[in-house]
Structure 1
Amino acid sequence: MGILNVTPNSFFDGGKYKSESEMLSKVGKMLNDGATFIDIGAYSSKPSAEFVSEEEELQRIVPIINLILEYYPETLISIDTFRSEVAQVCIENGAALINDISAGNLDDNMLEIVAKYNVPYIMMHMRGTPQTMQKMTSYDNIVKEMLLYFSERVAQARSLGINDLIIDPGFGFAKTLDQNYEVLQKMEMFELLELPLLAGVSRKSMIYKTLESSAEEALNGTTVLNTIALSKGAKILRVHDVKEAVECVALFNKINNYSEVF
């Protein structure tokens, strides 16, 4: 899953695309490099991100959907939003799945919209909002509490007829640096939910703070953690650097196929 941020303030690539041609060039490269999905976000969810109105989110994101589908009509577009109205408008404009950082907790209508349009739904673990989440990192047993959270959200989704679900542990969301690594180390526990797992660690602070570097220097660390995530059961990698992630998956699959032969 290739990341396309159309926000001016995302932690890694905010404000990078100055024109339609630059954005199309980025999308074309991700698709050529092997991206299965393009995940478009128009509301930065980095810690302490400023509020963006629903109207502005739509003004940012809908023209980009239309642009991508005009030039790359077969693209599977994922929409990174927690707002049901944004989800609905984007689906009606051709988006194929919804990626919700709140698993429906920030908009009571989200699950109903996903059910109405029968699209796949990624539900992530988070507490609070992007503005408050880093103050909400107290857990007695983080993985156990996350499993309970997902069990409740999955049950609610299925009660509405949503069955095509994907789980995202939410690295960097309402978690300290050490908690992120604990969740990654124990990520195979989420296979108890019997749903595909998405891992989103690309260039995050859990990497560059540990290495005392920066997001710009975090590609190697991203590849290391992506490999670990695959070994822990991840089925989708959400990344800024598609080529490197596709190579990571290919090599991981190669060694697994080798072990199966013998």
Structure 2
Amino acid sequence: MGEVHLEAGGDGPAVLFLHGSGASGAVWRPVLNELRERRTRCRWLVADLPGHGRSAHRQDYSPGGYAGPVAKALTGLLPDGSPLTVVGHSLGGLVGMTLADGTRGVAVASLAVVAMKVAWTEEELSRRSALAAKPPRIFGDEEQARELFGRVSGVRGPAFTDEDRDSGIIRQNGGHRLSADPAITRAAPATGPELAARMSRVTCPAELACGDQDPGIDPADMAEVLGRPVTVLPGAGHNVHIERPGLVADLVERALGR
């Protein structure tokens, strides 16, 4: 595993896609397919965040601990000073906000943050801590590990390839397990004031969006905490990029000024 697994393709203005917690860059397959069908001209860059997918595990899973290695991975992939659009889902949105504060050596021209969770219940926080303390479950059957990754990430169904499904699992002790580092949930998530402060440091135009059927996110709360209006995406739950990829393609095209 490299420090940050990053794939690229297409031609045109650069768009960096950042996934949510427990997933991999494979989740963006439906959106990339949609952009290709529309013939939207862009050079797409898809990262597996540190501790996820095919990227290396780290000690630091703070927003900066994610953003620093991603910024480093972009070195040499863009012409010097060339701006890019960043599209982040959930945790990826937080990492995108961190990249867009002007301190990481990355010129972010526009930012789209999708499904940013801004408040956590005590039960949710307890569940996060419990997950971090559990050793990874080892499956004797590779397909069982793929199925668990699909439930965690949304990477399942005909929209995804075998390579996509394998992006979130590894071999270990004669079996298979999720490749994500259990420690990604050890640190407490960012609080509302921390998120507000981070958004206030974003130096580029930003659009926030949330599905109207997302069970864990209230668009009004998201707007209040982050201090910006939220575009409500109809008929979409938390994994809007998988459930309604056309709506996320619309966000990409708006960010690109299309």
TM-score (norm 2): 0.37
TM-score, normalised to structure 1, is 0.36
Larger relative contact order (CA 8 Å, sep ≥ 6): 2
